[in-house]
Amino acid sequence: MELRLIEVVLPERDLGDLEKLLEGRGEVLDVTLLRSLGPYRYPVLGVWKERFSTEEIIVRILTSAEKTEGLTDLISEKFANVDGFRINIIPVAATIPNIPENAEPIQPEVSPEEHKRPKERISREELYSSIETAAKLTKVYIAMIVLSSIIAAAGLLSNNVVVIIGAMVVAPLMGPNVALALATTLGDLTLARNALKTNLVGISLAVILSVALGLILPVDPSMPEISSRTSVGFAEVIVAFASGCAGVLAFTTAAPAVIIGVAVAVSLLPPLVAFGLLLGAGYVSYATGALLLFLVNLISVNLAGVATFIAQGIFPRNWWEADRAKSATFVALMLWALLLAALLSFILASRI
């Protein structure tokens, strides 16, 4: 079970309000107890209090990772305007004694109007922080793009699927694409600009490097691992959609990052490198097919990512930001859908 320790810093005078909010029965709560938070019901695995100054107190709440979103939202809404208020969300590597995976409180029977179950995901702030970090343009990101492109090119040229899979694991392309989907969902222009910049730099580096390799190395477009990436079918679109959904779900549920990298890179890096190799070797028509496959996959991954974020209930906390985000999301979804439809129509028309 993924755990999070939520630290709430408050003036001591507001402790009573927080305790009422948590409906606590002591400083340490049994894992089988149910704590009711307004219209929500959460499994709180432990609560501890500590005074660290003459006027402030810190309350630590242990809960599962996917339950932090609603809990932090509720506490923030209650104490957002209190001077000195702060929430820190800390990943918990382990706790002793161990908490069983099935240590969930029994949910009471309540009407649909009374019981609003929170989404199963990590908190919005933790999600944003992890995705923002993954979308940053750093020296490590550039190095990983270069290395994964070389590995992918070697795998394609030698028709070695194992080497290509290795490139998929190394490739960091999932970060900026998931960030772009989140920025679209939240209407966050700063995150969108950073994600686009990082994405463009990564794509450009992969293309430039693979074109250079195509100029100096023999490229055979009939090799299965290359030829399979010079045409687009509905199966490839389905794989791209599944990759985008898997990437977003892995982020929102704190799944291992390697799973995300494999899921997204399988639809992006190989056709991109195949495009560069074929273009460098002078096979323009084959290169065009690989480029179309990459573009269809890129659009499908982002479209699926936005749809999955919406399905997960990711939205800004403030109503004025939510209105702006709703408009931005609608426009982006229409744009991604129109681009995908245009590309698929062009592909179908070229086959007639």
- Tokens of residue 259, six digits: 């799973």
Sign of CA dihedral 97, 103, 104, 105: negative
- List the helix and strand counts (H, then E) for the chain: 12, 6
Helix axis angle, 234-252 relative to 284-311, nearest 10°?
40
pLDDT at 114 (0 to 100): 37
pLDDT at 115 (0 to 100): 39
Task: Please say if the pLDDT value at position 324 is more than 70.
Answer: no
Q: How many CB atoms lie within 10 A of CB 25?
A: 12
The domains of the chain are located at 3-92, 124-351
* Least confident stretch, 69-73, 86-90, 223-227: 69-73
Reported as a single tens digit per residue, the pLDDT across 178-203 is: 899 888 888 888 898 999 999 999 99
75/72 Cα distance (integer angstroms): 5
Buried b (16+ CB within 10 A) or exposed e, 118-148: beebbbbbbbbebbbebbebeeebeebbeeb
Residue 21: strand pairing partners: none
* Confidence band for 250, pLDDT divided at 50, 70 and 90: confident
89/95 Cα distance (integer angstroms): 16
What is the average pLDDT across 98-119? 47
Task: Spell out the alpha helix ranges (H) of 253-318.
Answer: 257-281, 284-311
Helix axis angle, 257-281 relative to 174-186, nearest 10°?
110
58 contacts 11 by C-beta, under 8 angstroms: no
Query: Which DSSP letter does residue 12 get?
Result: G
Q: What one-letter code names the amino acid at 265?
A: A
Let me know the angle formed at the C-alpha of 122 by 121 and 125, rounded to the nearest 5 degrees: 130
Burial of 26 (0-12, 13-18, 19+ CB in 10 A): exposed
Reported as a single tens digit per residue, the pLDDT across 269-322 is: 899 999 999 999 999 999 998 998 898 888 888 888 888 888 877 776 554 456
* Confidence band for 110, pLDDT divided at 50, 70 and 90: very low
CATH class held by domain 3-92: alpha beta
Residue (of 239, 308, 303, 306) closest to 271 by Cα position? 239
Burial of 98 (0-12, 13-18, 19+ CB in 10 A): exposed
Residue (of 11, 23, 304) closest to 180 by Cα position? 304
Task: Please identify which residue in the block is written with the tokens 């490590």.
Answer: 140
